[in-house]
């Protein structure tokens, strides 16, 4: 399965990265950064309105190459101008053609909330995210044990990072809630076969308490889609491919926000 391949590739990559930049160096770098509070991020997403997380990605396993030349700084500026709540940056290089340097450069250029979108499987990647200036990390229930999920969730909070805990079914939502998740992302795309269905968010929204931020991920292609998700009471949506292919992503984002 592609998910297993992604995890294997991530393991190899992080082993190499740690040989280049040891964890001790990352910790030293982080110690010099201003303190942040993960609760500030959660409160942003609890504010009224449809929150948009605009994603920057060059490719994906399901769609292949999405854009040929990735002007990630330019795209981030467009998202920021449209007042997205956060910018998601793919940092996985093999399948999504991303890089941690994209995240770091965006954070040096734009004062915005950023999410490190990757397949985080060890603490080193969380320290990397903090060092690169991220405000949020993604933790995917499907690729972690419950103990790992809790350990990484707690570490992120210690570093001042908010956590978007991604779930795909009722059991995974239950696990996310059991470790104290304050922001749950329900992926409408099945990571095992890449099929997409809004029924996933519709069914699982009822399983998440109203005080927990609920983010619908994947599959949004039109304003009509956003209306469907708004109707079930989601706090926000994560949009990637549709924005990357749009000739005017700023206008699309503003239309979503006006729809509320």
172-223 tens-digit pLDDT: 999 999 999 999 999 887 766 677 778 889 899 999 999 999 999 988 888 8
Task: Summarize pLDDT for 13-33 with one digit per residue, the tens.
Answer: 999 999 999 999 999 999 999
Confidence check: pLDDT of 60 > 60: yes
Please tell me the pTM assigned to this model: 0.94
Look at residue 3 in the predicted model and tell me its pLDDT.
84
Alpha helices in the chain (DSSP H): 2-20, 23-31, 38-46, 72-81, 93-96, 100-109, 123-131, 146-158, 170-178, 199-205, 223-231, 241-245, 249-258
pLDDT of the residue at 162:
98
pLDDT at residue 218, rounded to an integer = 82
Q: What is the pLDDT of residue 247?
A: 83
Does 79 score more than 90 pLDDT?
Answer: yes
| pLDDT value at residue 65 | 86
Quick check: 258 pLDDT over 80?
no
- Is the pLDDT assigned to residue 127 strictly greater than 70? yes
Give the CA-trace dihedral at 45, 47, 53, 54, to 10 degrees.
-150
Average pLDDT of the chain to the nearest whole number: 93
């Amino acid at each position: 399965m592609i998910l297993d391949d992604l995890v294997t590739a991530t393991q190899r990559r992080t082993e190499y990265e740690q040989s280049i930049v040891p964890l001790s160096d990352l910790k030293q770098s982080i110690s010099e950064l201003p303190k942040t509070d993960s609760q500030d991020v959660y409160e942003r997403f609890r504010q009224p309105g449809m929150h948009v997380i605009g994603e920057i990605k060059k490719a994906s396993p399901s769609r292949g190459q999405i854009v040929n030349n990735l002007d990630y700084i330019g795209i981030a500026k467009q998202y920021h101008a449209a007042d997205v709540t956060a910018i998601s940056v793919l940092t996985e290089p093999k399948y999504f053609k991303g890089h941690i340097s994209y995240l770091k450069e965006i954070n040096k250029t734009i004062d915005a909330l950023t999410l490190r979108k990757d397949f985080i499987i060890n603490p080193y990647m969380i320290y990397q995210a903090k060092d690169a200036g991220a405000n949020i990390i993604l933790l995917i229930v499907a690729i972690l044990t419950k103990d790992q999920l809790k350990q990484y969730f707690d570490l992120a909070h210690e570093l001042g990072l908010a956590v978007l805990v991604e779930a795909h079914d009722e059991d995974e939502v239950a696990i996310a809630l059991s470790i104290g998740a304050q922001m749950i992302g329900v992926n409408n795309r099945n990571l095992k076969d890449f099929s997409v269905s809004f029924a996933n968010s519709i069914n699982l929204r009822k399983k998440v308490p109203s005080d927990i931020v609920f983010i619908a991920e994947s599959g949004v292609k039109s304003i009509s889609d956003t209306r469907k998700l708004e109707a079930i009471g989601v706090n926000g949506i994560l949009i990637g491919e549709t924005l990357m292919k749009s000739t005017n992503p700023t206008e699309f984002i503003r239309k979503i926000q006006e729809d509320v």
